[in-house]
Chains A and B, each alone.
Chain A
């Protein structure tokens, strides 16, 4: 016998009462925490870090992507107006585009055209308290990142919806990611699901799991740009511009 296309057996009944099944009934929340990991769907041959020509893919956890219809963005913490936004709501903000490099702490960089909106748009909506100097991001792939509020209001920091003329792909953080070109790639969180304003700084994923700093500002050193055959080029620190890159006016 089949119900909703599922064969009725012991496994079906057990799974009906599992946490993941309850999550499926309430797809955007599990006990107040957004969770879009679909670990069961991750293929056995899944490769987490993929050196794709032009733009390498890096992620902290195996993840196959967000279901946009089930996604929402919650913004809260020390704010006057906590809100939840659906994907469509993000297109109500003024869109800006820029070409900038994502500089990975592992030493490569890749360039793309990013389109999105300024973080200031979200500030205007939620009105953070004057003591809220820090912002904590969480993502659908159980990643987390922290910034000072001041950093997020600098020029060329974008909440990104599109990349190279297309909606963000699953590999690059659909439906919403952050691009802060003066920070290493690991700070440019993908699959954002929640944003929390606070008066104290939280640590980020890679400071807790690896040898990388919470701050993550791109330091002076060497870069191996993928669009220059990974040949080593010196960088000054901050946003990376190579001699062949067009600088913003």
Chain B
């Protein structure tokens, strides 16, 4: 079972992401199922990180209370090894550079995303995370 944390201030995005990722063939994930936890408030998500280890964190960039980089920086303090990914419609070059540098971002996807590209990225990150844990 892979625990995936999804954070976006827009619930429809969360649902769509969940649907899209749920369609991943479990065989690609060594038969492990995906379990999603979704938050529209980054603060709530950080709180949840105290109790639950995640295999992947996917966040929006532009959110009302804090931006994606700030959120991921907080997550990193609690769970440094978890792969981090931003999906944003706000294609500010400086924001992307900051994200990659500050929170060692694994992936950056633009909205609207390509479902296949998203699924491939998730599969790859979960696989590498697993290998990292195993080694």
A-B complex is real: no
Give the A-binding residues of B (Cβ under 8 A): none
Give the B-binding residues of A (Cβ under 8 A): none
